[in-house]
Structure 1
């Protein structure tokens, strides 16, 4: 006597779902691998380094904190709430029909004034911190600035 064994087959729809899932996973893995191998979204483009960044980043950690704290605690500067309000004002001005360029310009001027005041306060705090350095500390500090600038000037891999 032969025993008949019944083998259950996997339904076709499960095979299709598994194949699609595998294909999607391979696509995502390929995208991630390509992203990593190319160097990320900024590959070939150096980030914009503002004028102050090399100066600030080269400061010793405690002085850098002092500069940021001085600016953060300056009540005469626009706070986060005030900056958000300016953005809301800009959105309102941009939505007006017909377009009122003068209203948009007024918001830009107020935002520019806020940026200028923050920059002035930041420069004053930075100058105070640097003024307190000894000659040797200032020499080491300028070496760190130069190192930061040299790192930014080096050609990046894959850039011509």
Structure 2
């Protein structure tokens, strides 16, 4: 046998840099899904440690922070009431996210580790998060459609102000 023998190939067919790229991509996806799921599933600060009830969820909790903060106080109340009317689908969404989070934990601990299974679960979690955001978007857009031209203009000004860098807001 000569020293020029070809080293055995990895059975996966992936080169070293491809593995690093795949793992990095998976890690970033998990961080994003984890951060969003964590926000959605977090406990109420100052509460007894019980998860936030769907009836207590606001537009801000659903990923529309600046858009909700730019609404007038009265509009925020109206929209939050509309969100509370969606308590059942939001509670179901939250339960599914919790179930998927548990599946993710199990998949992360599994030996042998299956990155495709983790990716599949992360994709399912992303679908749940997007559904939650769709509910919020539909409610927000319906609310905006019912605004008068003057209310929409005031909302646009507040939104524009909220989106400016903090240093520019005082001007």
TM-score (norm 2): 0.53
Structure 1 stretch displaced more, 68-77 or 124-133 = 68-77
Distance in structure 2 (CA, Å) of the matches to 1:99 and 1:108: 15
Q: What does 1:33-72 align with in structure 2 at a 5 Å threshold?
A: 52-72=64-84
On the 8 A contact 1:71/1:125 being kept in 2, the answer is yes
> What is the Cα deviation at residue 72 of structure 1?
4.4
Please report the RMSD computed on the Cα atoms of aligned residues, expressed in angstroms: 2.4
Distance in structure 2 (CA, Å) of the matches to 1:51 and 1:143: 21
Distance in structure 2 (CA, Å) of the matches to 1:72 and 1:95: 36
- 5+ residue gaps, structure 1, are 1-49, 156-160
Runs of 4+, deviation exceeding 6 Å: none
> What is the Cα deviation at residue 153 of structure 1?
5.0
Alignment partner of 1:143 out of 145, 154, 157:
157
Distance in structure 1 (CA, Å) of the matches to 2:125 and 2:85: 19
Query: Between Structure 1 and Structure 2, whose CA radius of gyration is higher?
Result: 1
Matched, 1:87 2:101: yes
Q: Secondary structure at the match of 2:89?
A: coil
Distance in structure 2 (CA, Å) of the matches to 1:147 and 1:96: 48
TM-score (norm 1): 0.57
Residues matched between the structures, number: 105
Q: Report the counterpart of residue 10 of structure 2 in structure 1.
A: none
- 5+ residue gaps, structure 2, are 1-61
> What is the Cα deviation at residue 51 of structure 1?
7.9
On the 8 A contact 1:71/1:118 being kept in 2, the answer is no
Query: Using a 3 Å threshold, how does the CA distance of structure 1 residues 91 and 79 change in structure 2: closer, same or farther?
Result: same
